[in-house]
A = this chain, B = another copy of it.
Amino acid sequence: MSGTVAIIGGGVIGGGWAARFLLNGWDVRVHDPGPEAASRIEAVISNARRALPGLLDVALPEEGTLHFCDTLAAAVAGAGWIQESVPEDLALKQATLAEIQASCDPGAIIGSSTSGFRPSQLQQEVPRPGQILVCHPFNPVYLLPLVEVVGTDANAGDFLARAQQCLTGLGMHPLHLRQEIDAHLADRLLEAVWREALWLVRDGIATTGEIDDAIRYGFGLRWAQMGLFETYRIAGGEAGMAHFIAQFGPALQWPWSRLTDVPELTPDLVARIAEQSDAQSGAQDVAALERIRDSNLVAMLRALKGQGWGAGQLLAAHEDTLRAGTDLGQSAGEVADPAQPVLTLRRVVPLDWADYNGHMTEAKYLQAFGDATDRFMEMIGCDAAYIAAGGSFFTAETHIRHLDEVHTGTLIEVRTRVLQGGGKKMHLWHEMRAGARLLATGEHFLLHVSLETRRACEASPEIDAALRRFARAQADLPRPEGAGRGIGAPR
């Protein structure tokens, strides 16, 4: 699903939305009267191009086009989605939304990025309130999947469902609030911590760096994968949440936090925070910190995907959607020309596959070839169900030739030939390319095994037939240069 989106307001959040839509194949029109909007948006998109495409194990659709529009009317005319991200000022937001509705398609979805206002407030001054809802994202918008979706009774019919479907198509997780409330969910939790942290700095208990360490070396790691309640459920043990609350609830009444006051933001306190923050993070400028943050997020999200958990599970689901309907979603029988090498991998080299110079590291060549082998196995019927029933292929030998280097962000493809296949054996030849450039070859000899005995045995008749069909159809191709070769160093 894609189309045309209008981004109204070109700050970091508007830029993040522009990047997420653009890299998912939407045409993007941006309107922001500020003189720096274009360069700011280009900077965010450039960060997004560095981090997002490789986050997934399958390539994104082709990028859409990006236009900057001088007038709001030109930006929104004909757009299917309009995202408002102007500064957090209710009157300004209301006026902007009214201006949007004067020019936009009445069937378009208008999402507001507001952190604090309720949708009913945003719907007050417009002719078509039912067209507006809150879609509150989190920075960096192109990487973090959370978007809080809040509507009112004015949003009729399938309006909310359409909006959520569209956000899911962008790889996001629309969290629909059942009831509107100031600041939605996440920012209420954030503000509670922010307030307490300001007290700790003001009272000289800890510096900003120490508070960040208290978070990132401890509960931050818990929260990135399980959140608050699931973590406490574990702490409560098999006795359950009620037991946990009975045990730890009373502490709530103790004076453990400064709940009743808001610290005054005196010039002294602001200066102290700024100084401590410089001491903590000043060695890197903000542009460098953004890239570090993005690299960390990509690595952690992909780590969670490897575990099939949390935000990593969202990635896996999004990949399945992207694969469906492409060559990579085919079964062996659907392959148009089995006499040619088969496309088994099409992805962008992710940030966490690189050395400090941005080159793909040695072991990731085998990772890519292994992923290609897995995909080929799926195509011939050795899929999750077959493996769960007790059969699979194990790699016995691998020969990789590293022919050229490749940087993160590059689109790579693997095409696969069957040199021999049938019975217990599968002998594959992978070629990895970036465009026409041959990066590596991978020769792999696999044996079909019983997962119970861990010994070689015949594959199922269906797999056997599919393998032999490829081997026969490709038998007339010239033998690949380098196949069967050993590492030829003189003794």
Most buried by B among A218, A287, A300, A303: A218
Alpha-carbon gap, A34 to B362, bound state (A): 53
Do the beta carbons of B146 and A425 come within 8 Å of each other? no
* Interface presence of A487 (CB below 8 A): yes
Distance between A202 CB and nearest chain B CB, rounded to angstroms: 12
**Provided the pairs A211-B228, A216-B226, A242-B274 are in contact, do residues A309 and B286 lie with their beta carbons within 8 angstroms?**
no
Alpha-carbon gap, A271 to B195, bound state (A): 30
Q: Kindly identify which residue among B145, B252, B293, B479 contacts A226, using a CB–CB cutoff of 8 Å.
A: B293
State which residues 442-491 of A face B: CB under 8 Å: 443-445, 451, 454, 479, 483-491
* Interface presence of A227 (CB below 8 A): yes
Alpha-carbon gap, A472 to B18, bound state (A): 61
- 6 inter-chain pairs at a CB distance below 8 angstroms, sorted by A residue, are A175-B214, A183-B256, A231-B293, A240-B274, A397-B402, A398-B399
Do the beta carbons of A225 and B192 come within 8 Å of each other? no
Do the beta carbons of B265 and A245 come within 8 Å of each other? yes
Do the beta carbons of B217 and A289 come within 8 Å of each other? no
Number of interface residues of A (CB under 8 A): 155
Do the beta carbons of A228 and B194 come within 8 Å of each other? yes
State which residues 374-399 of A face B: CB under 8 Å: 394-399
Alpha-carbon gap, A177 to B210, bound state (A): 9
* Interface presence of A251 (CB below 8 A): yes
Copy number in the complex reads: 2
- Which residues of B sit under 8 angstroms from A183, Cβ to Cβ? 254, 256-257
Alpha-carbon gap, A214 to B103, bound state (A): 34
* Interface presence of A326 (CB below 8 A): no
Do the beta carbons of A252 and B146 come within 8 Å of each other? no
Alpha-carbon gap, A53 to B489, bound state (A): 38
Q: Kindly identify which residue among B190, B230, B364 contacts A280, using a CB–CB cutoff of 8 Å.
A: B230
* Interface presence of A237 (CB below 8 A): yes
Chain B: CB-nearest residue to A400: B398
- Which residues of B sit under 8 angstroms from A366, Cβ to Cβ? 362-363, 365-366, 398, 400
Q: Kindly identify which residue among B173, B205, B300 contacts A217, using a CB–CB cutoff of 8 Å.
A: B173
Do the beta carbons of B487 and A443 come within 8 Å of each other? yes
